[in-house]
Chains A and B, each alone.
Chain A
Amino acid sequence: MKKNQTIEQAIAAIPSGARVMIGGFGNPGTPFSLIHELLRQGQTGLTLIKNDANEAGHGISKLIENGQVSRLITTHIGLNKRAIDLMNQGQLDIEFHPQGILAEKIRTAGAGSFGFLTDIGLDSEITRPEDLLDWQGQTYKVEMALSADFALLHAAEADWLGNLVYRGSAINFSPLMAMAADHVIVETPSLAAPGHFRPEHIHTPGAFVDSVVSLAQLTSDYGIIDHHVRR
């Protein structure tokens, strides 16, 4: 079954108030084109789950700055002063997790489980007494799995069946989110017919993917950020 859709069709499936995972660590893996269409369609009251908030004026920061996001579940927003200001002004509700714990919460949901036990942050202020579990003489922190209604992902290459291949450091949260969301929308600049990939080289099998959007070209959003180049 061909999963190709137009970008308008694919994003129109997302209602206001949805919980949406978005791939990417900084720029690599951020699905800028899908985000731009979500900005254009204007759904509001969104809960976003992403490693970071991109940088001011880029990626999901556009959705935040446009007032479409009520809550952000993330690990670090240090590169986005605009998001920090909105958080400090009480206009954006932010939930922080240690980075690998956020990844594992998503992976756990994606594996069909409900939670896991950890010792990360056990002695720190991020742990509340009600999160603790004493089990067979040890104390653990309970971390619940984190799922979502939608995931928006960027794949370097995909086929019509939704088989995905990521590139460089753009893997990051994407294969985990593909497994943890109920409806997975993928953008790719390189859409191929089934059979194009060596089967063992596929990162995300098509079973997890609902919709594939072919991008005619990558905009300047996907390019090198000058201020990250060391002179």
Chain B
Amino acid sequence: MSVAERILSRAVNEITPGSIVNLGIGLPSRIMHYLPDDFDVQIHSENGILGAWKQAAPEAMDPFLIDAAGAYVSLGQGASLFDSAVSFAIIRRARLDLTMIGAFEVDSAGNLANWKIPGKFSPGIGGAMELAQKTRRIVVLTNHTDKYGKPKILHTCRLPLTAKACVSRIITDLAVIDVTGDGLVVREKLVDISDAELQEKTEAELNFATGEGPHDTA
């Protein structure tokens, strides 16, 4: 299983039946393909869809129907289509139950940085700020370290923030970590790794939950 597949196959369990979910562009948007075809969920896409579903069959692809990532989605039963002001009213009025989103950095207070690397990467804010600030539950999906092996889970984010104290859970290729009032708590390990090794790959201090099984979701 690739690193991405490991993150995605764990992340799909975060989606509870009957919920309204936004899946960020990139890795999170691929979660849709891990859901059973009859799963009861409404996927929101910020370009104006509630009820987006997996890529349409080739003969049914509609060039006038994409999701925010550009995929030629189909629509589930009961889907609706609307303008961008309504789409973001859904977000700002906190009608989304869950957003899964990528990160450049996330820290022990649940601060998220994912929109700008000054001098290197500034393609714009898109919907990230409103999603991060207003969704009821934010789950970050990220590699545990960057491509140079440096930690992405920090004491305090150094990049410009997308939103403060917004993250509930971090799912990496190594572990599932919750942001709590007492700091970061490791809930599950997704690979065979010692506490010390995991801590070494993490700048923020980790607390290791004892006596809690992999099904504990705090």
- Write the nearest CB–CB distance from A130 to chain B, whole angstroms: 19
Do A224 and B72 have beta carbons less than 8 Å apart? yes
- Name the interface residues of B112-134: CB closer than 8 Å to any CB of A: 122-130, 133-134
Q: Which of the candidate stretches A36-44, A166-174, A208-216 sits at the interface with the other chain? A: A166-174
Do B48 and A229 have beta carbons less than 8 Å apart? no
Cβ of A99 under 8 Å from chain B: yes
Cβ of B198 under 8 Å from chain A: no
Q: Which of B84, B126, B130, B133 contacts A76 (CB 8 A)?
A: B126
Report the separation of the CA atoms of residues A128 and B48 in the bound assembly, to the nearest whole angstrom. 29
Do B63 and A100 have beta carbons less than 8 Å apart? no
Interface size range of chain A in the complex? 35 or more
Do A168 and B55 have beta carbons less than 8 Å apart? no
Which A residues are CB-close (under 8 A) to B162? Answer: 124
Report the separation of the CA atoms of residues A207 and B81 in the bound assembly, to the nearest whole angstrom. 23
Report the separation of the CA atoms of residues A167 and B49 in the bound assembly, to the nearest whole angstrom. 12
Cβ of B167 under 8 Å from chain A: no
Most buried by A among B46, B81, B85, B87: B85
Cβ of B39 under 8 Å from chain A: no
Which A residues are CB-close (under 8 A) to B49? Answer: 169
5 contacts between A and B (CB under 8 A): A29-B64, A120-B133, A123-B163, A228-B71, A228-B72
Complex: chain A residue closest to B111, CB-CB: A123
Interface of A is mostly: loop
- Name the interface residues of A124-176: CB closer than 8 Å to any CB of B: 124-126, 156, 167-176
- Write the nearest CB–CB distance from B66 to chain A, whole angstroms: 6
Cβ of A14 under 8 Å from chain B: no
- Write the nearest CB–CB distance from A50 to chain B, whole angstroms: 11
Which A residues are CB-close (under 8 A) to B146? Answer: none
Cβ of B178 under 8 Å from chain A: no
- Write the nearest CB–CB distance from B12 to chain A, whole angstroms: 17
Complex: chain A residue closest to B52, CB-CB: A169
Do B71 and A99 have beta carbons less than 8 Å apart? no
Most buried by B among A51, A98, A176, A229: A98
Report the separation of the CA atoms of residues A84 and B82 in the bound assembly, to the nearest whole angstrom. 29
Cβ of A114 under 8 Å from chain B: no
Do B72 and A125 have beta carbons less than 8 Å apart? no
Which A residues are CB-close (under 8 A) to B45? Answer: 169
Complex: chain B residue closest to A170, CB-CB: B64
B7-51 contact mask (Cβ, 8 Å, vs A): 1 or 0: 000000000000000000000000000000000000001111100
Do B83 and A98 have beta carbons less than 8 Å apart? no
Which B residues are CB-close (under 8 A) to A125? Answer: 160-161
Which A residues are CB-close (under 8 A) to B195? Answer: none
Do A120 and B70 have beta carbons less than 8 Å apart? no
Complex: chain B residue closest to A175, CB-CB: B83
Complex: chain A residue closest to B45, CB-CB: A169
Do A121 and B129 have beta carbons less than 8 Å apart? yes
Do A230 and B84 have beta carbons less than 8 Å apart? no
Q: Which of the candidate stretches A1-9, A63-71, A101-109, A194-202 sits at the interface with the other chain? A: A101-109
Cβ of A183 under 8 Å from chain B: no
Which B residues are CB-close (under 8 A) to A173? Answer: 83-84
Report the separation of the CA atoms of residues A184 and B47 in the bound assembly, to the nearest whole angstrom. 22
Cβ of B68 under 8 Å from chain A: yes
